[in-house]
Structure 1
Amino acid sequence: MIFRNGELFSGPGGIALGAKMSGFIDENGNQWGFKHQWANDFDQDTVDTYKLNILNDPDDKTTFCEDVAEFPIGNKNILPDIDSLMFGFPCNDYSSVGKQKGLNGCYGPLYSYGVKAMRVYKPKVFVAENVDGLSSANEGYALVKILKEFADSGYHITPNLYKFEEYGVPQTRHRIIIVGIRNDLYEKGIHFHVPAPTTVNPNDQKTAQQAIEEPPISDSTPNNEMPKTTKRVAERLSYIPEGENAWYEGIPESLRLNVKGARLSNIYKRLTHNKPAYTVTGSGGGGTKMYHWKENRALTNRERARLQTFPDDFKFVGSRESVRKQIGMAVPPEGAKVVLQAVLKTFAGIDYDWVKPTEKLQLRNLLNTDGSSLKGIDK
């Protein structure tokens, strides 16, 4: 079975690439996978990147650069029926890095367009992704509201906190992913389970150095321009050991930052060569661009893309800062692949290793009520 897929907030194609990689042929010769039907994102460079790499067609007319508020959800002449829906709804207002405005921010309520698409198209399955900070936004109310709306749209939902370094991604990127199976299908025995981690042991986890150096990045690889580094920044970095940041005590006074607090931040923080990288981000000013464990410089965009598990032939469109943003905001394709392949195996009736979902994220544990309206919540 090939699922016709619709995607909101598509980004440059992290989830879509994971979907492409997740397909397989079962022992009976049946093909399982996802096929692009339509997608949208608000940023033109991001949309161009998606078209170029996911669809191999810069002139594609099924991927739209459009504000989701204006996106014609429900107009089936433009956006035809789908079997699956995927959306990494914007995390800006839920991220612990920012002010965490949650539902009160500009981006916080945008998940509701995913709900709208669920109710209009009634896909067999949906997959929604956001940062782990979602669980604490608005003192926990945001997550309750979102999960309840997902469930009330007719889906049995399985929220889980995925620690991507435990799934082969060379980065400590922790994300909440919610998989929803339509209730009528769930009642027929189609029950999604959280795929079991493959690299729980730190000794088995892919390191930053392995990701960036194995194999070496060739001179012809796109998006690998060396960043400009001022003499002062390079000198400051020369005193910072791997794993440490701008507040390392060994930095001479003349090179210290005149900033109070934030001693545990990632400002001028070097990677640790034999551990997964810290989280790749897409925003922030000077000192937030991730720094090589040995060389006195920031990472190139291609190095960041490798930490995000994008292949070297995946070419990002736009300026250097635009590319940096696209990479940081994306879902790691290899991480998406793990979840989406589990979805396909669920529908195919193929067993796989699984674990119980994160207990504290289940709606029955989040509600402060008597527990009514819990139909469709993972027990």
Structure 2
Amino acid sequence: MDRTFTAIDLFCGAGGLTEGLRQAGFHVLAGNDFDEVAGQTFAATHIDAKFVPGRVQDVSEATLLKAAGLRPGQLDCLVGGPPCQAFSVYNHQRGLHDERSQLFREYLRLVEGLNPRWVVMENVTGIMSAGGGEAVKAILSGLQKLGYYVEFRTLRTEDYGVPQERRRVVFIGNRIGMPIIWPEQTHGTSDGLKPFVTIQNAIGDLPVLENGEDLGVRPYRHAPKGDYQTMLREGSKRVLNHSAPRLGPINIERLKHIPQGGSWRDIPFDLLPEGMKKAKRSDHTKRYGRMSWDGLSCTVLTKCDIHWGAYIHPEQDRAITVREAARIQSFPDWFKFEGSRTEQYIQVGNAVPPLLGRKIGKALLETYAIDERHENQQPMRAVG
């Protein structure tokens, strides 16, 4: 393949999917998001892409085409993940009544206007059940009416080298009559697969911090150990976005009782928050969870809050930092997140892990290679 493959990223956030596609070999020309701080991160980390700010409802295909320097039908791939909170299992009020659940229709509107050769859409697994599966049916029928052949699967990020239990529903489609190639699993427990990437592999080389400590930009703890640390440290000499949130004295006392792999169940009853003293032992399985060096992370959310998940460092009595969350999401270390620490956590938690994005991008390019061989044997086709 001797040409550049182009993409536009809707709901781009800080640019996790954009970064993955870039690593795969795509040239992402533009990204859109309503979050201006995430847009600052996107613009600073992807200088070749034009950030288009604003609500997707207010963005026209003409605006995106102008930003990308393309005409309708010239774009290779339109990607995007409409905000997922309405479908998330963590949102107990989820459903199609939430206006955020309708943003996939804006994606379909822009697919029609841009007419890309390929489309990729991702979302949380809650989209499968919310509204009785009506959103999935609407996405499939909407793309099919626009002339796209579409498949969807639930992908587990740990199967592709991301040190995190994270499930995402991914839709892939094209209008050029090609089969869909899905990324092959590379990590797992079966013969022939690489071992899962662990928390130790992911964050073991990052500087030690006390609770609430912020030492600014810091050197690494030691030389990289293993392929994952080596990969994410490429192009970086210092550690960015690495400061510990300050937990109150009562939480620090609770943490002292929680071993690696432990949780709220290890906290003495008299130290439990009042609301958890009546909890069943089977409830709140991730609350006050401490990570294990040899395990995977739970899903990184927009708040790495120890009250809601296993976000306690394996050894240090503190919550994980933005950089540690970014490592678990597979962001490279040179990737600097802008804004307040709260805004940085949101950007990391909302992102598609770049490594998953890269795997998807590589699978698309593999299909492109088949398509090009097909085109070389066929008369020229009009784009449209």
Question: What is the TM-score of this pair, normalised by structure 1?
Answer: 0.82
Q: Is 1:194 aligned with 2:196?
A: no
Match of 2:112 among 119, 125, 129: 119
Are the equivalent residues in 2 in contact too, given 1:94–1:108 (CA < 8 A)?
yes
- Counterpart position of 2:16: 14
Match of 1:208 among 199, 206, 210: 199
Match of 1:67 among 33, 55, 65: 55
Are the equivalent residues in 1 in contact too, given 2:164–2:328 (CA < 8 A)?
yes
CA distance in 2, matches of 1:85, 1:309: 22
Are the equivalent residues in 2 in contact too, given 1:92–1:100 (CA < 8 A)?
no
- Counterpart position of 2:263: 245
Are the equivalent residues in 2 in contact too, given 1:165–1:205 (CA < 8 A)?
yes
CA distance in 2, matches of 1:176, 1:214: 32
Match of 1:130 among 119, 123, 128: 123
Deviation at 1:100, TM superposition (A): 4.8
CA distance in 1, matches of 2:279, 2:303: 20
Deviation at 1:234, TM superposition (A): 1.1
1:1-379 correspondence runs (5 A): 1-23=3-25, 34-55=26-47, 62-75=50-63, 76-77=65-66, 80-81=70-71, 82-182=75-175, 185-186=176-177, 190-201=178-189, 204-214=195-205, 218=219, 220-246=238-264, 248=265, 250-259=266-275, 260-261=278-279, 263-283=283-303, 287-288=307-308, 290-349=311-370
Q: C-alpha offsets along residues 148-185 of structure 1, whole Å, 9 cap, x if unaligned?
A: 21222211111011101011100011101111111xx1
Bigger shift: residues 85-94 or 193-202: 193-202
Deviation at 1:140, TM superposition (A): 2.0
Bigger shift: residues 220-229 or 67-76: 67-76
Identity %: 30
CA distance in 2, matches of 1:54, 1:164: 23
| CA gap 1:201/1:100 in 2 versus in 1, 3 angstroms | farther
Are the equivalent residues in 2 in contact too, given 1:100–1:137 (CA < 8 A)?
no
Q: Which amino acid letter does the alignment assign opposite residue 151 of structure 1?
A: Q
For these two proteins, the number of residue pairs brought into alignment is: 329
Are the equivalent residues in 2 in contact too, given 1:212–1:306 (CA < 8 A)?
yes
Are the equivalent residues in 2 in contact too, given 1:74–1:117 (CA < 8 A)?
no
CA distance in 1, matches of 2:308, 2:339: 20
Structure 1: runs of 5 or more not aligned: 24-33, 351-379
Are the equivalent residues in 2 in contact too, given 1:93–1:99 (CA < 8 A)?
no
Q: Which amino acid letter does the alignment assign opposite residue 252 of structure 1?
A: P
Deviation at 1:133, TM superposition (A): 1.2
Are the equivalent residues in 2 in contact too, given 1:308–1:327 (CA < 8 A)?
yes
Question: What is the TM-score of this pair, normalised by structure 2?
Answer: 0.81
Q: C-alpha offsets along residues 251-302 of structure 1, whole Å, 9 cap, x if unaligned?
A: 2222112124472343221112211111100037662361112221100110
Are the equivalent residues in 2 in contact too, given 1:12–1:47 (CA < 8 A)?
yes
Are the equivalent residues in 2 in contact too, given 1:94–1:131 (CA < 8 A)?
yes
Q: C-alpha offsets along residues 13-35 of structure 1, whole Å, 9 cap, x if unaligned?
A: 10110011102xxxxxxxxxx22
Bigger shift: residues 43-52 or 259-268: 259-268
Q: Which amino acid letter does the alignment assign opposite residue 46 of structure 1?
A: A
SS in 1 for 2:165: coil
What is the root-mean-square deviation of aligned Cα atoms in Å?
2.1
| CA gap 1:231/1:265 in 2 versus in 1, 3 angstroms | same
SS in 2 for 1:349: helix
Q: Which amino acid letter does the alignment assign opposite residue 9 of structure 1?
A: F
